[in-house]
Structure 1
Amino acid sequence: MHNVETSGHNVRWSALVEQLEGRLDGLARAFTTRVREIPEYGESQVTVQEITETARETFRRLIRGLKGGDPTSQDGLLDFASDLGSKRARAGIPPESLTSAVRLDFSILWAELLEIAKPEDAMLLASRVDQVWKVVDEFATRTHTSYLTERVRMAQEESSIQREFIARLFNQSTPSLETSAQVASALGLNPDSRFALVAASGEPGAQLRSAVTHAGTARPRLFLHESGGNTYVFWPLPSVRTRGAASNNTLPAALSTVPCGYVSDVLGLRALPAAARTAETLAALLRPRDAGPLSADAAWARLARQNLQDAGLDLAAELEEALAECKGGERDRLLETVRNYLTTGNVTLTSEQLFCHRNTILNRLNRFQELTGIDLAVPVQAARLVVAWA
């Protein structure tokens, strides 16, 4: 096979590369014109002057790389690529836009080579296309690697800063307006918005952390705080909410099956620490059969019972003592009737559900009142049973 890599070809190649060096300004202008057509570049904080100067330096180093064919040893080309990738990451250029911009290097450089070459250079160019591509590809690869590394570092730094501000918020019982404003600015939130919050520990807490990790930047954005073995997650609610809508409608899908304490509506960032304490209390009331978040609306009776027990009052024990004189199956019949009546609040519906005559239901309710002193027709007294049996 005929070898085109003769000394004459090497001399001619060097001459072409020398001509490229004399056209750096034109190469930079061509790159700037085309890269400004990429929307994210046209609207970015990277100025036209910076783009042009960077392009000129990029082509200068690429052309030097073409002389030796080894980017790692030519004029700091790869170090320059690393610095460029970091700069574009800090400038907020999206990755796909950076890819489009870097791809321009080869097309512009090759088009310039074709323009200065003569017809008899066709075989030479065909033999050198791999070399040109290798130099540009090495540059592009290093640029992208540095870009991604910087993006990861920036994300970690941002996350760390946000965690610090969130901790500052939750470490105060009642955060000041200044703290609230600072945290809101750091998180990109409105300090007066409404929020929802959940809390859990142990395995459910790990599930909350996993949900936040997998949610990423999806909406609504989830914010994480961990303290004292508890995991807290909060998120902003839509600015417009449907009146009377179920609170569970505000729950992100990733949290809907995690057993945790749930506060569905918190007014402002300053109220989040108090809401966290409420959610922590609700989480302590969870039972094995609970398969999702527990709100105050659903757990108010459990919460009341727990508070009464903490105060030394046990309504359930008092009821058991009052019903102790029941004989045979009377106790069970009374309890069944009362529980059904508490659910419906209607004697007729209760009689239908239990397949009893309406008078039978009334007699049982009267008997229950006789034994316990609780008149179910009086809401305040009926509430004692709801709490006792929570």
Structure 2
Amino acid sequence: MTQLLAPVDPSKSVLQRIAGALKVDMSADFLVAVCSRDDSLPVKRRFALKSRKNDKVFTYDQGHHTRVIKWRRQGVAPELEFDDVSLFEGAAAAVALLSAGSANVRPAVLAAREIMSDLPMGCTGIFTLGDRWQSIVRHRMAQLGCDPGQLVHPLLRRCTDAERERLLEMAVVYLRTGSLVNAAVELHCHRNTIVNRLESFQRHTGLDLRPPADASVVLLALR
């Protein structure tokens, strides 16, 4: 496990030796998760009690986290099974749902660790990249001095307080619904009012909420 999760990606020959030692197929799929060391003991106990006879589950403690790597049976959907969910009950777990082949286990562990590090203190449940990508990307960009909020909020200071509030409210609702009609219903206004606010938002910020590229930038900015 130390070789598999080393800072440098293992070569193909090393992966073959690791797969032989662990008695797993190099091309198999793996469920990869990370949990806190504080939660690792009950999680390990559940794995020991609930795992099927032929299941292969590996755990590896490193720093404040415990890595969990579970071989997935062929034909199993990439989504978490009920048995997988129950293993982490009461704990916070970051899951990189599926690693296709042993060569992808290390990147999956890195992704799960990044998700785990992004979680608020005291939370419980299972979290995936789909749940946390906005927060992770925004924090990473801000660490590099590239805060996406600077692409929106300073430019809206030219608006009146009331107009800025309306535009931000519209942006939040429109990005959540993806629909002019649904946004208008939720904000109790006419569809054309949403269109006018979209145009006003673009006029002030240069960002159009309808194309995915601009929409993703504003999603991050509004975090």
TM-score range normalised by the length of the shorter chain: 0.7 to 0.9
Residues 1-390 of structure 1 mapped to structure 2, 5 A cutoff = 166-171=1-6, 173-200=8-35, 204-216=36-48, 218-219=51-52, 220-242=55-77, 247-249=79-81, 251-255=84-88, 257-288=90-121, 290-390=123-223
**Per the alignment, do residues 351 and 263 of structure 1 end up closer, same or farther by CA in structure 2, a change over 3 Å counting?**
same
Task: Verify the 8 A CA contact 2:96 2:108 in the aligned structure 1.
Answer: yes
Higher relative contact order (CA 8 A, sep 6+): 2
Distance in structure 2 (CA, Å) of the matches to 1:248 and 1:331: 42
Distance in structure 1 (CA, Å) of the matches to 2:122 and 2:168: 22
RMSD: 2.4
The amino acid that maps onto 1:211 is: V
Structure 2 unmatched ranges of 5 or more: none
How big is each residue's C-alpha offset from its partner over 1:190-210, in whole Å with a ceiling of 9 and x where there is no partner? 22211011123xxx3321332
Distance in structure 1 (CA, Å) of the matches to 2:122 and 2:164: 26
- TM-score, normalising length from structure 2? 0.85
**Per the alignment, do residues 328 and 312 of structure 1 end up closer, same or farther by CA in structure 2, a change over 3 Å counting?**
closer
- Structure 1 runs of 4+ aligned residues shifted over 4 Å read none
Distance in structure 1 (CA, Å) of the matches to 2:11 and 2:190: 62
- TM-score, normalising length from structure 1? 0.51
- State the 1:240 CA deviation: 0.8
Structure with more of its chain in helix, by fraction: 1
How big is each residue's C-alpha offset from its partner over 1:143-185, in whole Å with a ceiling of 9 and x where there is no partner? xxxxxxxxxxxxxxxxxxxxxxx22322362223443334334
The amino acid that maps onto 1:308 is: M
Q: For residue 248 of structure 1, give the secondary structure of its aligned residue in structure 2.
A: coil
How big is each residue's C-alpha offset from its partner over 1:233-268, in whole Å with a ceiling of 9 and x where there is no partner? 1101121134xx6x3348342125532332111122
- State the 1:313 CA deviation: 0.9
Task: Verify the 8 A CA contact 2:57 2:68 in the aligned structure 1.
Answer: yes
- State the 1:347 CA deviation: 0.7
Task: Verify the 8 A CA contact 1:197 1:275 in the aligned structure 2.
Answer: yes
- State the 1:351 CA deviation: 0.6
The amino acid that maps onto 1:231 is: T
Structure with more of its chain in strand, by fraction: 2
**How many equivalent residue pairs?**
219
